[in-house]
A and B are shown apart, each in its own frame.
Chain A
Amino acid sequence: MSKLHITTKINDEAREYLCEPNQSMLDVLRDELGLTGTKEGCGTGDCGACSILVNGRLVCACLMLGAEAQDASIETIEGVAGDAGLHPLQSKFLEHAALQCGICTPGFIMASKALLEKHPNPDESTIRYWLAGNLCRCTGYDKIVRAVQDAAAEMSHPA
């Protein structure tokens, strides 16, 4: 079986890799590219731990093939913090203790980032529905919702 040669863009950087035809984007990120910030939870699109942005759309990396990334633009958790430091979502997750074990956190950050790009000032119910595909077994979600609300406030009115 021959591997496929894929050329793509990950976190604004041109990347190329070889992958098997049935290899998931998640496995490519973690095993071929060493980008292990994206986590595997269920592998069936139920838990959202592997959330990434593909051409600006939030998707589960486990429900996409590595081969599909040809010519795409992909954002992962590794690209969220900038030269100036943490993204407001990352700071607020820390501040509100919106994580405990941390496995779900990259997925929540990516999903919340996609939310705030589409709805800069979401109400609580919008946040809860948007994040319904991200599972967390530690926090009980409330702290996550508060962190996202606080990040939204800070991003729309920077101190």
Chain B
Amino acid sequence: MEAYAYAAPTSIAEVTALLHEHANDGRSAQILAGGTDVLVQMRSTRRAPRTIVDIKRLEETNRLEVNADQIYIGSAVPSARMQENAELKALLPGLLEAADLIGSTQVQGRATVCGNLCNASPAGDSIPALIAAGAVCDIATQNGSREMAVEDFVVGVGRNALSDGEFLLGVKLPRPGAGTKDAYLRFTPRTEMDIAVAGVGVSITLQDGVCSAARVAIGAVATTALLVPDAAKALIGGALDDAALQTAGEACQAAAQPISDKRGSAAYRKKIVAVLCRRAVQVAGKRALEQ
């Protein structure tokens, strides 16, 4: 077995330098934040990293900021810390629900939404919610940083768009304005400690009862979470009536390319992704009206 090393740098430059050095030498390095996926994978030898790079000592990765026009969630911020931020919870209830669905209280104490994103599981609950909320990845590179929409970040099962030497610093989200609210619903056979059979994240903007903007994303029904522009199109311009909900659900169904496994058949997943879409739109729409 490869030998391990552990590093806990305190600056972005140190992290990217370490990652580059390892890439150039053909050695592997593994970023560690919450570790709830990485350490399990390490133990099962799915990953045998040479150097573990703990990014929790960086000031930047610990940022959790709710500003006038932007929200920033650093890659070392555990879900439990997000849940304790009342302003964040009021602004993005859907994203917070999605993050809260992941694992136990113990896992919540460590797991991060950025880790959920990097781990790139098709069923990662926070990913459709991040896409719906319009989140953008803030990626640290050796030459500064670059940004990428969350829907482009996950490129396959367990694969993300980070190149050698790069790591995810955090996600930026536009601060939802008046009339904008999100929701995330998933289906699991059990109420706790389970993995989504299908999930739908929705963000709805209502102006005088009319939907002026919408984003709909689906999870666990394709190799990656997907933004479904046709579902949003069906909703925009109307008052979220039954016909619009029906069309949006059908658009999700059409976009889904699920597999059959022990959690559900492909046909079943296609059916419930439409149901979840309709319900999530109703929840987000109700929230947008109430605020």
Contact = CB atoms under 8 A, between A and B. Distances in A.
Ranked nearest first, the 7 interchain pairs of A and B with the lowest CB-CB distance are A133-B104, A21-B6, A22-B4, A57-B109, A21-B4, A132-B192, A67-B6
B192 to A, nearest CB: 4
Given A21-B52, A67-B8, A133 B103 contact: yes
B43 interface: yes
Interface string A30-69: 0000000000000111101001001001111011110110
Interface string A110-139: 010011000000000000011111100000
A24 B104 contact: no
Interface stretch (B34-42, B63-71, B174-182, B275-283): B34-42
Given A4-B6, A45-B40, A63 B104 contact: no
A1 B6 CA distance: 11
Contacts of B39: 24, 45, 62-65
Interface residues on B, range: 20 to 34
A45 B5 CA distance: 23
Contacts of B104: 45, 48, 132-134
Interface in B10-65: 32, 35-36, 39-40, 42-43, 52, 54, 56
B6 A59 contact: no
Interface string A63-103: 11101101000000000000000000000000000000000
B100 to A, nearest CB: 10
Interface residues of A, number: 33
B54 A67 contact: yes
Contacts of A62: 39
Contacts of A13: none
14 contacts: A4-B6, A20-B4, A43-B43, A44-B40, A44-B43, A57-B80, A57-B109, A59-B110, A63-B35, A65-B52, A68-B54, A115-B105, A133-B103, A133-B106
B78 interface: yes
Contacts of A134: 104
